[in-house]
Chain A
Amino acid sequence: MQALYAQLLVGLINGSFYALLSLGLAVIFGMLNIINFAHGALYMMGAFCAYFLLNLAGIGYWPALIIAPIVVGIFGMILERTMLQWLSGLDHLYGLLLTFGIALIVQGVFQNYFGSSGLPYAIPDELKGGMNLGFMFLPIYRGWVVVFSLIVCLATWYLIEKTRLGANLRAATENPTLVRAFGINVPRMITLTYGLGVGLAALAGVLSAPINQVRPLMGADLIIVVFAVVVIGGMGSIMGSIITGFSLGVIEGLTKYFYPEASNTVVFVLMVLVLLVKPTGLTGRAA
């Protein structure tokens, strides 16, 4: 039983990263109509940003949790202003190719300087150690990642579904021309939305640094699974991305316990099944 709970926890943690990343992808896809293949590289940049802050400036985990998403978010907004914005109105393929190229370049640059092996990033003192829950041992940092990710996901959902700003965003996703004709600066909103989505990826990167170490290809490995999660959940829905992210993490964890051989493929098998039965994804709206 101990092993089952341990795998469930691993599943929840992976689910946290899936949820944070697919949430950002869904928001970006909604506003920019771009499949952001650079998402994994930006997640990695978040982790590296935390690493640099600590090792070059002595700035620890807690400030990094705020600074890294902002820094990487600004980098993302520069990408959007200088490159992605010119793709609006073109086929998805162009955005996919451009962001994939950006990902390769960013990862290549980091690999050139840091190789492929991981750099250590210590768990902050406040979150060291663990708790005995009676039925299992819970490392505090891992519990923190799950709870904090959930809070960030729900806050993002609230921002988009329940606030005035979110209403502007949803309206601009539906009909940007009309929203602009009401006097709302839609191009600026698009840039900020990309920054938000990228910031979420960077935040996931910081959260992951103490668990998975900091590696140039950490995002490349993860992003393929995240895209499968997005396909399963459907591109259109914010809550859908969150729920699918966490549930697929858990399903993956359970598979590791009951049938470990399939744990790396279960998400993709599910993706194929969903595509066969409901091509728009479980919660997605028809395009």
Chain B
Amino acid sequence: MAEAPAKTTGAPVLSVQNLEAWYGESHILHGINFNVNAGEVVTLLGRNGAGKTTTLKSVMGIIGKRTGSIRFNNEDITRTSSDKIARMGVAFCPEERGIFASLDVRENLLLPPIVRPGGLSLDQIFELFPNLKERLNSQGTKLSGGEQQMLAIARILRTGARFLMLDEPTEGLAPVIIQQIGHTIARLKSEGFTILLVEQNFRFAATVADRYYIVEHGKVIDGFANSELQANMDKLHTYLGV
């Protein structure tokens, strides 16, 4: 595997080594290796079913069987339960957004507990996503897809977690909304958040990411920095089949 050059020195925020994971009997991840350094936006690219989402879920601790090593801020979290991982400062924005139908927008927003000081205040969140303020009393799932995605990102910004994992935040959204989410991610990065992104849309990823890893058949098969993107375009097309 080609090791992607790290942008900063020192211990990575997240370090995943030889991660294997299973859904019931099916073996999904066959040895995932990658690092995320402080302040970086790192994107996992790959086809459907390659194991990107499973990788995020394994880091979050919600895949039942996992082996190998996952270290967050130099602590081993391979066998830690997901509520404890969250309380260490890992925030997760799932695929399909995970907005709760039985909760209104305000309740959805306030659901994740504050895990450490320094999270965004409600005012800061409404400044970032003005739409949410107007719809606070609507049922969560009555929002448009774009608004739901904003809500899903907004609620984890309140918690004070500085490491965010976003699973396909642009999936199924209109270009203008995708752009807005891109701006949001860029802004979070400038404020020092560390972000691990899963994307199929590498044109979007290219606007925000510092580095990429390519996931295929449950393994990381390649990695490169954003500056090397053009040079790797041909390879990327082959990997992603686009």
Contact = CB atoms under 8 A, between A and B. Distances in A.
B102 A170 contact: yes
B98 A175 contact: yes
A181 B60 contact: yes
16 contacts: A167-B107, A175-B100, A177-B82, A178-B94, A178-B98, A179-B111, A180-B62, A180-B82, A180-B86, A181-B61, A182-B91, A182-B92, A182-B111, A182-B113, A183-B115, A184-B113
Given A167-B110, A167-B111, A180-B62, 12 more contacts: A170-B100, A171-B102, A171-B107, A171-B111, A173-B102, A175-B100, A177-B82, A178-B92, A181-B92, A182-B83, A182-B112, A183-B86
Contact of B103 (A170, A182, A185): A170
A85 interface: no
Contacts of A168: 111
Given A173-B102, A174-B101, A185 B83 contact: yes
Interface in B84-98: 85-87, 91-92, 94, 98
B101 to A, nearest CB: 7
Contacts of B85: 181
Nearest to A170: B102
Contacts of A171: 100, 102-103, 107, 111
A227 to B, nearest CB: 24
A184 B62 CA distance: 13
A200 interface: no
Given A170-B100, A170-B102, A171-B103, A181 B111 contact: no
Interface in B107-152: 107, 110-113, 115
Interface in A161-215: 164, 167-168, 170-171, 173-175, 177-186
Among B92, B101, B111, residue most surrounded by chain A Cβ atoms (within 10 Å)? B111
A5 to B, nearest CB: 40
A180 B112 CA distance: 9
Interface residues of B, number: 25
Contacts of B83: 180-186
Nearest to B91: A182
Contacts of B87: 183
A164 B113 CA distance: 10
B55 interface: no
A206 B206 CA distance: 66
Among B81, B112, B159, residue most surrounded by chain A Cβ atoms (within 10 Å)? B112
A173 B111 CA distance: 13
A11 B107 CA distance: 38
Interface string B58-89: 00111000000000000000000111011100
Interface of B: 60-62, 81-83, 85-87, 91-92, 94, 98, 100-103, 107, 110-113, 115, 156, 159
A174 B111 contact: no
Among B61, B87, B102, B110, residue most surrounded by chain A Cβ atoms (within 10 Å)? B102
Nearest to A185: B83
Report, nearest first, the 6 A-B pairs whose CB atoms are least far apart: A183-B86, A182-B112, A167-B107, A170-B102, A181-B82, A183-B87
A164 B102 contact: no
Contacts of A185: 83
Nearest to A174: B100
Given A181-B86, A183-B87, A186-B83, A174 B102 contact: yes
A287 B11 CA distance: 47
A170 B156 CA distance: 19
Contacts of B82: 177, 180-181
B27 to A, nearest CB: 20
Contacts of A170: 100, 102-103, 107
Contacts of B111: 167-168, 171, 179, 182
A164 B110 contact: yes
A234 to B, nearest CB: 14
Nearest to B88: A183
A174 B139 CA distance: 14
A120 B115 CA distance: 53
A185 B62 CA distance: 13
Nearest to A186: B83
A177 B62 CA distance: 7
Nearest to B104: A167
Contacts of B94: 178, 181
A107 B156 CA distance: 48
Nearest to A163: B107
Among B60, B98, B156, residue most surrounded by chain A Cβ atoms (within 10 Å)? B98
A46 to B, nearest CB: 29
Nearest to B85: A181
Among B81, B82, B115, residue most surrounded by chain A Cβ atoms (within 10 Å)? B82
A230 B92 CA distance: 36
